[in-house]
Chains A and B, each alone.
Chain A
């Protein structure tokens, strides 16, 4: 019997050495919840497959020992296909964790055990956590964990991590893991396949973290990463192995992947016999009924409208951007805080120039903090509450399948609906999430649309406030955004080279979100947002102040005057556009000030609002774009977006002048 210990670090838990435990498993089985429970740290948990795109690490004390817990992106198989899966396997291959916890969904035991088999086969130190037992029990499923433990020969624990069930058992299984204690079984394939595996494994001589048996299978599956690793380790002996792989792969060219999957399926089928008993009658829960309603166009589209109306319009728009902003910005800052702080600063600091820095027209406090806290905070906070709630219900994958057909016309799959919706909250965050899209082409299209036609919540809030007095202007703005989204998406789908995207998605069951989870999630997102934007707001205030006292600002406004004239706007609007470079919403807020001073008529206001919404993404978004897409693509997008923004501004201005709309 092979042992799994040899390759793992042998430092005992209490000798000061930190041991490592990696959490692996299919997407959406509760790895992140377990991670949070073990470490007390917080990773965003959602009811949306494929959300942990990055590896999270946290420290935990488990039964007195120091452990590092590693949360990995979801993987379906040890033979990796997607980028996230590759990242997850990397950890198993290169970090040699002391314990590998495979988390799976009890309801899908049979399907997901295939990966447990692979992990055991790789001779990794596996602990199996059969999670979501509560929902399985509700469905009337019976799972005999003892029998499963016996058949697998590894520790098996039943749990419902979201309900804090089984956590202690998991802790003690991790801490008490002894490689020699368990008795991992060897799962036999058909004679033919065994023969091929043995032949290949016999040729290998290097030292590896995972078993040669697994390596042999991965070589036969033409896994590039493993192939190069084996080539590297084996050195001179490799050509013989490569030749053998070629020979076997050719013999089995018809259906190696399928044969292997079927053999594993058969192994699992025998394993779950009597372990997994499903009731004859399927129990239909209310959640399933609701799920059906949300997926059928006839009921799903009205439902979407209801969600958007109450969630976005009423909650974020009317409540967040209206009531709360009025209260914070109008009452608190304008009437109480700003006069007070101005008084304080003026009393403490004698120099007028420095006073200006803090409490002047562009002062850090009177402008920077006021915008950030008074206007942006309530809008963004309500949006994130809305988004986090919806995310946890499991509604997004259903929305994705509902819009897939429409999105395909814009060169994206339904999956892209998540970044698009998130974009209405924060385009920067949404640009980061485009990573979950399958192809580079799709990611680029999504990035372009996000930076162009999707206004973020802060912007929408300010623009709603700005244009609400002129309903016609609001309509023109809305139509312009929609039109550009459609036209640019449509053209991108046709002009960009590459394969059209494909759509597949696992639908997690619908759940009633847990209040605490929504709150924590909103909180983490807010925190991220604020760490990101507050420094920028302050920097903007400082730069604007510097620009003002040095006279550079005036020059910049002068320089932009022709551009403003080109789209029919007074020169003062340039200020808003300069603001807009720091953050788009900041710019929109600048417009708000201009309008209060009565410097813009309805036409100019509309043109300015449209141009500004389309204009260059805020600095933060541009930086993330650069990080995600590389500087070439992001510069191209930046130039494109600016041209479209001012082009559209010009066209809209002409159109409004000629037709006399909005006069």
Chain B
């Protein structure tokens, strides 16, 4: 598979990499009534980026990433309900809480690989889910945690009914995350992660501290997932148990694979296509829309293993061949 990125690639930002941002800004002006959906898509892009870092680059297959998303979401929610509704502190709390959990769990589970690792990630999600389900006085249990208010951002921008503030807020946070992930991926650290993915044994033989690299990547990824969770909490002012469900982990992985993993922008395309399709289908066929989603996934898995970006790559390659 043709993965872009890695240490060898040119780290300068290419012109086309500004395209998503231009589109995002355009949406703000062109489709003002779609902004709540837009905010959700942006949040999920951050979440997908965090998964891409460990799955696409580190080769860690996990079905438990919602543990960190949910931890961040609940941390931000509990903070807002108990102490302060200041959004930036909430983001920081969500990021740190999930990062800490990522570090602790990463230290344990990254000693294993393959199926054992997959099972452990599932187990951690189930544990977190049960804790949130049982600690009703803190989390609201099955009813969820709501009724808190999030203060205006920097004391200036109030969260409005149409979701304009929330959209711009999500966009700015996503930009920061993108910049960070991009820096990481194009650094020697990113190159060594790709090395671990491609040939674990060889990286060991080369004397690379594989375990430590993976733990660091896992922690950063968990922190980013927590950031996304906190963002969801703040823009919807509610946290439900679903944020810790492993359905969410599965859906996230589907989105990333749909977009194409291990290439940063797959994490942009996947959630966008998946969620917009879901939104559209759910509107056209409120009773049967899951069928459409299923059909779309079957087609992608059968005919486009590299995801949507993989298809685009293939088309470009073919055009080049016919030209030359």
- Do A and B pair up? The answer is no
Please report A residues at the B interface, Cβ cutoff 8 Å.
none
